[in-house]
């Protein structure tokens, strides 16, 4: 499988949501990272054949998705950020309905539904009405419907919203197990959702691709740019205004502040090993032309 995104742009009137966005993806998990408003959801909708790009094209194994939407959808699973459900149906009824919409034979669909109920820890609630479920359980149902047709291209937009820590781990493990045979695009602003499973990372901001690389290469990029120092708590607001702060720890000797900067931010600051979150903040706030001290 190969997904080619070639100089895709999208305008909403005078607003430019995407600008010349290009990526080439093969099997594995792509972690698509960016702040809210970066254009991630617009890109996801274009890839899911729900929206047309203003310019550029997208192909899946050489097939233009605009010209062949029905064929593309046979190999597509999509979980949007705002996933709607039918509150009066139970889980099995809803998934059987979604299987029919996707054109799956019912015998195959029922076995697939049972497998997904087990994998997503929904089996014991399968006959409950969805309207009474928590946000996290509804999200799991959304994940199940996206996987019904065993898609070769799976697109999930902010999928862990509403999931508790145990459910987040289960979901990440599920994606990791699926990744060898398909392209998975996991769009999120939460770095921890992708750092353990993504084979590639793409970072975007204001509709543009800032970086596309292996996770280890992103860490190399930010080597010698992460610092830690201890400051009085009263100075913290000023430091957060003037520097890119990735983390703050309260300790008995003061506030331990982790700062992303191209140069030593304070004389007593010590260089430390970077994390993927540091690399993300570096591209979003420092390398992307941020106005704070770099």
* Residue 292 within a domain: no
176-217 pLDDT, tens digit per residue, is 888 878 999 999 888 888 888 899 999 999 999 999 999 999
Q: Are residues 122 and 251 in the same domain?
A: no
Q: Are residues 147 and 184 in the same domain?
A: yes
Q: Are residues 139 and 275 in the same domain?
A: no
Q: Are residues 196 and 243 in the same domain?
A: no
Instruction: State the DSSP H helix or E strand holding residue 251, giving kind and residue range, or none if neither.
Output: strand 244-251
* DSSP for 51-108, written as a single string: S--SEEEEEETTEETTT-HHHHHHTEEEE-SS----TTSBHHHHHHHHHHHTT--HHH
Q: Are residues 154 and 231 in the same domain?
A: no
15-65 pLDDT, tens digit per residue, is 999 999 999 999 999 999 999 889 999 999 999 999 999 999 999 999 999
Q: How many helices (H) and strands (E) does the chain have?
A: 9, 14
CATH number at residue 195: 3.40.50.300
294 three-class SS: coil
Bridge partners for 29 per DSSP: 184
* Residue 38 within a domain: yes
Boundary residue ending a domain (194, 214, 234): 214
Instruction: State the DSSP H helix or E strand holding residue 244, giving kind and residue range, or none if neither.
Output: strand 244-251
Boundary residue ending a domain (166, 183, 214): 214
Q: Are residues 188 and 262 in the same domain?
A: no
**pLDDT score, position 180:** 79
Residue 291: is its pLDDT beyond 50? no
Q: Which domain holds residue 170?
A: 3-214
Q: What is the number of structural domains in the chain? A: 2
Residue 247: is its pLDDT beyond 80? yes
**pLDDT score, position 96:** 95
Boundary residue ending a domain (214, 243, 259): 214
Q: Are residues 78 and 47 in the same domain?
A: yes
Cα separation, 32 vs 185, in Å, equals: 7
Q: Are residues 204 and 276 in the same domain?
A: no
**pLDDT score, position 288:** 65
Q: Are residues 53 and 159 in the same domain?
A: yes
């Amino acid at each position: 499988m190969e997904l080619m995104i070639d100089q895709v742009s999208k305008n909403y009137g005078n607003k430019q949501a995407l600008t010349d966005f290009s990526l080439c993806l093969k099997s594995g998990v792509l972690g698509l990272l960016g702040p809210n408003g970066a254009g991630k959801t617009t890109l996801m909708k274009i890839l899911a054949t729900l929206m047309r790009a203003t310019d550029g094209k997208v192909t899946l194994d050489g097939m233009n998705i605009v010209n062949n939407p029905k064929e593309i959808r046979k190999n597509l699973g999509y979980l949007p950020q705002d996933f709607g459900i039918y509150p009066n149906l139970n889980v099995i009824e809803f998934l059987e309905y979604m299987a029919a919409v996707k054109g799956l034979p019912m015998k195959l669909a029922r076995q697939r539904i049972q497998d997904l109920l087990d994998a997503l820890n929904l089996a014991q609630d399968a006959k409950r009405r969805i309207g009474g479920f928590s946000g996290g359980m509804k999200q799991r149902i959304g994940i199940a419907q996206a996987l019904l047709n065993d898609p070769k291209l799976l697109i999930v937009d902010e999928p862990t919203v509403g999931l508790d820590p145990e459910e987040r781990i289960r979901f990440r493990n599920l994606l990791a197990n699926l990744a060898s045979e398909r392209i998975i695009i996991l769009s999120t602003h939460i770095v921890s959702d992708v750092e353990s499973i993504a084979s590639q990372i793409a970072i975007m901001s204001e509709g543009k691709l800032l970086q596309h690389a292996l996770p280890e290469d992103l860490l190399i990029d930010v080597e010698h740019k992460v610092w830690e120092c201890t400051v009085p708590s009263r100075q913290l607001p000023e430091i957060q205004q003037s520097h890119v702060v990735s983390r703050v720890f309260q300790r008995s000797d003061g506030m331990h502040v982790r700062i992303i900067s191209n140069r030593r931010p304070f004389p007593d600051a010590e260089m430390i090993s970077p994390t993927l979150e540091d690399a993300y903040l570096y591209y979003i706030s420092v390398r992307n032309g941020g106005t704070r001290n770099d």
